[in-house]
């Protein structure tokens, strides 16, 4: 189940980025729901919110280390047993790999989902964020159960 989650998110992330790059020019914006959701192609050379630009090598190394550590944690949790923690780590792993592919191939991350009230992001970013929330829930649930 873990591999299905990772492969599905990674495939969706890479296909959507490919389609957006092929169909939009840099900084072009296409409304899907006017004023709410636009497809806007931007290249993020930093991390979240475009912070710390120019540190691509550091980000590649940090992401690669994160991928290895998450993989080892998932291996310890068991590949077939899907728990909240395993699902969370699977989402984070897929997102980290998706953005790592961009950084290695292009030197930046391709972002395109534009809610107009938040910096532009992508499927990988969404997977990481959802995974982080689920991981926090899993940790809180485990702590509560151990009391």
CA distances from 44 to 49, 108, 120 (A): 8, 5, 9
13 carries an active-site annotation: no
**H or E element at residue 43:** strand 37-44
Q: How far apart are CA 118 and CA 56, in angstroms?
A: 23
Q: Which of 13, 102, 114, 125 is catalytic?
A: 125
102 carries an active-site annotation: no
Q: Which of 13, 102, 111, 114 is catalytic?
A: 111
| Structure token digits, residue 61 | 């190394």
CA distances from 85 to 19, 25, 67, 71, 122 (A): 32, 38, 15, 13, 23
Name the residues annotated as catalytic. Answer: 111, 125
């Amino acid at each position: 189940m873990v591999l299905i989650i990772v492969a599905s998110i990674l495939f969706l992330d890479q296909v959507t980025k490919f389609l957006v790059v092929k169909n939009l020019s840099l900084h072009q914006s296409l409304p899907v729901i006017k004023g709410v959701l636009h497809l806007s192609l931007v290249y993020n050379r930093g991390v979240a919110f475009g912070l710390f630009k120019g540190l691509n090598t550091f980000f590649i190394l940090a992401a690669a280390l994160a991928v290895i550590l998450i993989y080892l944690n998932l291996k310890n949790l068991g590949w077939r047993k899907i728990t909240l923690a395993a699902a969370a780590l699977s989402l984070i792993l897929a997102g980290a790999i998706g953005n790592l592919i961009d950084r290695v191939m292009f030197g930046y991350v391709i972002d395109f989902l534009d809610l107009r009230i938040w910096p532009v992001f992508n499927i990988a970013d969404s997977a990481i964020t959802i995974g982080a929330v689920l991981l926090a829930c899993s940790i809180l649930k485990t702590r509560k159960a151990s009391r």
